[in-house]
Chains A and B, each alone.
Chain A
């Protein structure tokens, strides 16, 4: 089965860059696999495939706003977890106030963020 290079444009104006590869019997299946395996999380604005050893790029037809789906899939994207860092600090503060945190020396790189909360 032929190997197809998967290409993507991160933003408008970017050239196509190789981002991976798939095996597929034809360009249509290669584009489907490429879209599902490499652009599921809205990783770019356009995609394409190129059969290994050939120069022609078969471009995908899904527009940028549809890549990755059109329904709410925030549970599978970073936008669904905005605020987790702040939540960590808040929980730390609450547990520190209850006397539940574990004390012990840590590397210098970790100290400033912990000092903001402890005591």
Chain B
């Protein structure tokens, strides 16, 4: 069988619902697409721990400190699980992390922004985790089975984080005027990054969808996010800073204003407000703890004298 024939057979299998395991033969295009996607997801989990990690010492109660600590532990754990999945596709964890901290690979746009207030922590827990959950539930039907298993673990934990975020939001919006304003300010600052989070409109031939690594378009996921969360925000008296956002009964979808996509590309390419600071934090620990990795890996072979 030629390579092209094998690829055609593989694609037919994907289209028929076949799942791919780590040791299975896969086309180079599938391998590269899956690796890039899962690596970025893993990167995003470990970088996503940083905005909220800074709030652990500043959280207003012991209960909230414990909850944030548990959440941060979960996020880093997700990174660990996803790096393990990506390793089987063909890149070592060490190389992936080295590429991340040296700015050679990407992570989600939302983790390039600062968490300025407790209102931001509530927003992140409710709406960023909510957006992530919309994405991740769609991945439960992906073609790459080790990734599906990882999502089966990650989705329940993200649901838990969402509940925590929802609880924080309810405390703020049912509190004083200052507390309501704190959350409304967070919504006003974070709404555009959240719209960016789902990505630009999917290309005609999205390779991730072609190979079944993703199962839904960016726009479909964004529309689900609107349907799930905009009515809830409105029910809590919170406005959304998009005057063009409205349910279009005739088309059966939400109308909304396209955000500034130039900002999106600038941020994901490494020029966000907190990109350099957060990567520097990760790199400092990565470099100074190299001895721990060396202990686990064994003493490296010395070059011949």
Interface residues of A (CB under 8 A from B): 1, 3, 18-23, 25, 37-38, 40-41, 43, 73, 75-78, 80-81, 84, 87-88, 91-92, 94-96, 100-107, 109-110, 114, 117
Q: Is the CB of A81 within 8 A of B164?
A: yes
Whether, in the assembled complex, B70 has its beta carbon less than 8 Å from a beta carbon of chain A, the answer is yes
Using an 8 Å CB-CB cutoff, how does the interface string of B285-296 with A read, 1 for contact, 0 for none? 000000000001
A107 — which chain B residues lie within 8 A by C-beta? 227, 231, 247, 252
Interface residues of B (CB under 8 A from A): 63, 66-67, 70-71, 73-74, 77, 80-81, 84-85, 87-88, 93, 146, 149-150, 152-153, 156-157, 159-160, 163-164, 166-167, 170, 173-174, 227, 230-239, 246-247, 249, 252, 296-297
Q: Is the CB of B235 within 8 A of A41?
A: no
A117 — which chain B residues lie within 8 A by C-beta? 235
Q: Is the CB of B166 within 8 A of A84?
A: yes
In the bound assembly, the distance between CA atoms of A95 and B174 in angstroms comes to 8
- Give the 3 A-B CB pairs with smallest separation, nearest first: A100-B237, A76-B70, A102-B234
A-B contact count (CB 8 A): 111
A114 — which chain B residues lie within 8 A by C-beta? 231, 235
Q: Is the CB of A84 within 8 A of B163?
A: yes
In the bound assembly, the distance between CA atoms of A101 and B152 in angstroms comes to 36
On whether A22 and B84 interact (CB within 8 A), knowing A94-B174, A95-B174, the answer reads yes
In the bound assembly, the distance between CA atoms of A40 and B152 in angstroms comes to 14
Q: Is the CB of B235 within 8 A of A92?
A: yes
CB distance from A23 to the nearest CB of B (A): 7
Q: 28 A–B contact pairs at CB < 8 A?
A: A18-B149, A19-B152, A21-B88, A23-B84, A38-B153, A40-B77, A41-B156, A75-B63, A75-B66, A75-B67, A76-B160, A77-B160, A78-B160, A78-B163, A81-B164, A84-B167, A87-B170, A88-B166, A91-B174, A92-B236, A95-B174, A101-B236, A101-B237, A102-B233, A102-B238, A107-B227, A109-B227, A117-B235
On whether A37 and B235 interact (CB within 8 A), knowing A87-B167, A88-B170, A105-B247, the answer reads no
CB distance from A106 to the nearest CB of B (A): 5
Q: Is the CB of A81 within 8 A of B160?
A: yes
Q: Is the CB of B163 within 8 A of A105?
A: no
On whether A95 and B296 interact (CB within 8 A), knowing A84-B166, A106-B247, the answer reads no
Q: Is the CB of B173 within 8 A of A95?
A: yes
Q: Is the CB of A37 within 8 A of B160?
A: no
In the bound assembly, the distance between CA atoms of A94 and B174 in angstroms comes to 8
> Which A residue sits closest to B228, measured CB to CB?
A110
B156 — which chain A residues lie within 8 A by C-beta? 41
